[in-house]
Amino acid sequence: MAEKIAVGVLGATGMVGQRYIKLLENHPFFKVTYVAASPRSAGQVYKNVVASKWLIGEDIPADVADLVIQDANDAKAAIGKCKFVFSALELPKKEDIKNLEEAYAAEGIPVVSNASANRWTEDVPMLIPEINFAHLDVIAEQKKHHGWDKGFVAVKPNCSLQTYMMPLHALIQAGYPVKRMIVTTLQATSGAGYPGVPSFDMIDNIVPYIGGEEEKTEKECLKILGTVKDGKIENATLPLVSSTCTRVPVIDGHTACVSLEFDLPEDKKPSLEEIKRVWAAYKSVPQELDLPSSPEQPIVYREEENRPQPRRDRETGKGMACVVGRLRPCNVFDVKFVALSHNTKRGAAMGGILNAELLKVKGFFDNL
């Protein structure tokens, strides 16, 4: 086996950073050799900082436990210690995250990011590898624009989109364009990070507002479905999305209730059975390349009338599949369904790792 690529994790002590470190344990392509966090953690041994707040449920990986945490604000400190970094940064200002990720790229260290700061940068790909792998083409223009030799930034979208983007894309790709959608998300508490929403607010309760989530849910899908033109990503114009995002007392697993209208004449719209056939047949580049973190079946349909459910279905396909159920006619639009994805795997760290696997196989790390 070829030598593994040395990688770093920025924001390594937080919930998403911890998930990265656990998921990268024994990864066939990558090995964590560098961890960085806030200045207050810098200089301390990783296991000593996270021991009392390790959230993953298993032991801290032995090859990371004794690493000394570095200051994530110092991009130069990573030079020679890792080839690229996963960014799970959490800073009060998005502009600070954007600048910091670009500082790593300027030092020749690519950044595979979970953060939202660069999602709307027009030459930064916002990847769901099954859908918009072609957006990798903008990286060359991004590097040229900044004068970067080896570094670049690639990001993943908001976790709530993962619940419905693959079922949506499968229909569009099959020739059934979508005009409008109404989406209501029921989002797990882990999406708020640690310590997250106070328990008194969540127990016996639903919080009908998550700051910034509805805007992300309504807009990010248009960039993902967009096309590369003149070295930039040109957003799609459809579908129009109206969303309501809520926080529910579930630990992991975001659910979405979706109603959609096709942009087709009545006699050209797909039947329910045709929609299920399209979803069952849906596979893409990650499956073709057999990437380590890709699910064998990206969309899994459950026929039971009471599925999907977070506790029963979030680990489907290694936590990387979209589980769909309750497909039925809609009295207002055309059809409606319920979809589920694992927000801290597909929607966070494992989604970032899948992005990195695609970048690796496509040669973006060859000359680091």
Known catalytic residues are 159, 254
Q: How far apart are CA 235 and CA 326, in angstroms?
A: 30
Contact 307/214 with Cβ under 8 angstroms?
no
What would the two tokens of residue 23 be?
């998921």
Q: Are strands 30-37 and 5-10 parallel, antiparallel or unpaired?
A: parallel
Reference 310, options 269, 282, 338, 336; nearest CA is 338
3-state secondary structure of 139: helix
Q: Are strands 232-234 and 227-229 parallel, antiparallel or unpaired?
A: antiparallel
Q: How far apart are CA 8 and CA 33, in angstroms?
A: 6
Q: How far apart are CA 239 and CA 100, in angstroms?
A: 33
CA distances, 305 to each of 217, 325, 328 (Å): 26, 7, 11
Cis bond before residue 270 (omega within 30° of 0): no
3-state secondary structure of 279: helix
Q: Cα 3 to the chain's mean position, in Å? A: 26
Contact 220/161 with Cβ under 8 angstroms?
yes
Beta bridge mates, 341: 254
Q: Supply the DSSP symbol for 349.
A: H
Contacts of 240 (CB under 8 A, 6+ apart): 179, 180, 181
Beta bridge mates, 35: 9
Q: Cα 129 to the chain's mean position, in Å? A: 10
Q: How far apart are CA 109 and CA 36, in angstroms?
A: 14
